[in-house]
Amino acid sequence: MTAKKKYRRAIVYMRRALRVHDNTALWFAQKEAEEVIPIMCLSPDKRYEKDTPRRRFVTASMWDLEKSLRRLGSSLTVRRGDPTIEIPQAAVDYEADAVFAVRGCDPATAKRDQRIDVALKKAARSWIALDDRVLIPPAKITTGKGEPYRVFTPYYRTWLERQELITPELPGIRSLHTPSIGEGLAHHIEQPSETGGESAALRRWRDFLKSGINSYKRSRDLPAIDGTSILSPHLALGTLSIRKVYWDIQESKKSADPSSRENIDAFLREIVWREFYYQIIASFPHAAHGAFNEAADDIAWSTNRKIFDAWCGGETGYPFVDAGMRQLAKEGWIHNRVRMLVASFLTKDLHINWQWGEKYFMENLVDADVASNNGGWQWVAGTGTDASPWFRVFNPTTQAKKFDPKGDYVRRYIPQLKEIPGMSIHEPWRLSETEQLQAGFLLGRDYPQRIVDHSIQRLEALEMYRAGFSRRDS
């Protein structure tokens, strides 16, 4: 005899959890409710209606989820509007007793969840938020004094010591009973031609685990090759379970040789960086809208919109920087090494506030994630926790020669320069007009002149930072 379930009907708010495998909210909802209604709430923001890499990625992921749900006897119901209004209203409209969701770790999501919780309580419904986005919830990694960590290395050591807190993957869901109710995905979004979502995430992870992770440590810094996992979009949108990644890693280490284990540990360390940034933004909410090191709020940034637009468009005249920004526009993704360079260039060569760049990335990256994006930008800008020192300024040409020695990455995204031989591609301004024409381009016509001189801007940046920090000290 089957035990009676706690709820007759439950909604699962599928935000940033677009998968069936190891989905905490979905799994516990089907365990505790007789009927389960998976729901997505689409933002009314018109920016997300444009045909961008991010929109295509989200659309493909939603349709892939729809296919997975149909195999379980379910489907995806869609609401459009403000989730703090639509999710409670959906509970009333569909006569659901409870709403399950993955708990958000950033301050803005926590505030939205609180508003949803209050509205559901008024309607005599339950709000059940479950940990799922990180391996170890932020509050469970603290110093000996019970305080959150501010520096990565000690956090990392403690995290490694507390891996027993990581829960196993959940069993697969065999079926879902979902009533025919509400508007389906097809009513709102046309099915795309490309594939994506959970299916693509699992394929990518299997391939990387089989052939990429064993050389990760030495190949991850070279943007011209496929040397990283490129899982960040899937982890950000929740099309791949972070627990699955962790437990697959642990299993692969059992048969790995010492060299492979070293590479696997390097990859795991990057996952812990992601966990660290979630802890920072959850424990220090002010970092979500300003500098973690509040003294950095006094830096007198430039507000030159024209020069910012040149950075956004990949028109700075520095090929390695421009290749990165053009990759972002084309693919909605940038190699991590290049992210650090373009961020440094914006803040320390163009002297523009890191928050402008952070916002631009959040609007355009397919792996847009508040914690990781904010943490990365503040690290480079020298305003955050465990940050790169403010006086460390990346030289865009030196970085290009080191990490793109053959110029293949630049040639891929700036084809106008593809005929420049060797490392000269990273310094086209050093070529004479005759040499430029021989390579099939001309500065100022086919590719822009440098908008700034790095050697001059570096010195001005140091003074700008020094003055900003000294204001708070005085």
Kindly give the confidence (pLDDT) of every residue in the chain, 474 residues in length, as a single tens digit, with 9 standing for 90 and above: 467 899 999 999 999 999 999 999 999 999 999 999 999 999 876 555 678 899 999 999 999 999 999 999 999 999 999 999 999 999 999 999 999 999 988 899 999 999 999 999 999 999 999 999 999 999 999 999 999 999 999 999 999 999 999 999 999 999 999 998 878 888 888 888 777 899 999 999 999 999 899 999 989 999 999 999 999 999 999 999 999 999 999 999 999 999 999 999 999 999 999 999 999 999 999 999 999 999 999 999 999 999 999 999 999 999 999 999 999 999 999 999 999 999 999 999 999 999 999 999 999 999 999 999 999 999 999 999 876 788 889 999 999 999 999 999 999 999 999 999 999 999 999 999 999 999 999 999 999 999 999 999 999 999 999 999 886 655
Residue from 239, 15, 25, 275 nearest 165 by CA: 275
The angle that helices 107-122 and 83-93 make with each other, rounded to 10 degrees, is 30
- Three-state secondary structure call for residue 9: strand
Residues sharing a CB contact under 8 Å with residue 382, sequence separation 6 or more, in sequence order: 296, 347, 388, 389, 390, 391, 392, 465
Ramachandran quadrant class, 146 (left: phi over 0; alpha: psi -120 to 50; beta: rest): left
- Predicted TM-score (pTM) above 0.75: yes
The two tokens of residue 179 are 């009533």
List, by residue range, all CATH 1.25.40.80 domains of the chain.
134-168+198-283
List, by residue range, all CATH 1.10.579.10 domains of the chain.
294-473
Residue from 426, 402, 349 nearest 380 by CA: 349
260 class by beta-carbon count within 10 Å (0-12 exposed, 13-18 middle, 19+ buried): middle
Give the residue numbers marked as catalytic.
270, 273, 301, 336, 354, 377
List, by residue range, all CATH 3.40.50.620 domains of the chain.
1-132
Largest pairwise CA distance in the chain = 86
Q: What is the DSSP string of 213-241?
A: GGGHHHHTT-TTS--S---HHHHHHTSS-
CATH 1.25.40.10 fits 134-168+198-283, yes or no: no
The two tokens of residue 450 are 């440098």
CA distances from 223 to 201, 316, 329 (A): 20, 19, 16
pLDDT at 473: 55
Q: Which sign, positive or negative, has the C-alpha torsion 174, 178, 180, 186?
A: negative
Contact present, 68 and 198 (Cβ < 8 Å): yes
CB neighbours of residue 309 within 10 Å:
10
End-to-end C-alpha distance for the chain, whole angstroms: 74
CATH 3.40.50.1980 fits 294-473, yes or no: no
Region 1-132: CATH code: 3.40.50.620
For residue 414, give the amino acid letter: I
The two tokens of residue 341 are 């360079």
168 class by beta-carbon count within 10 Å (0-12 exposed, 13-18 middle, 19+ buried): exposed
Residues in the chain: 474
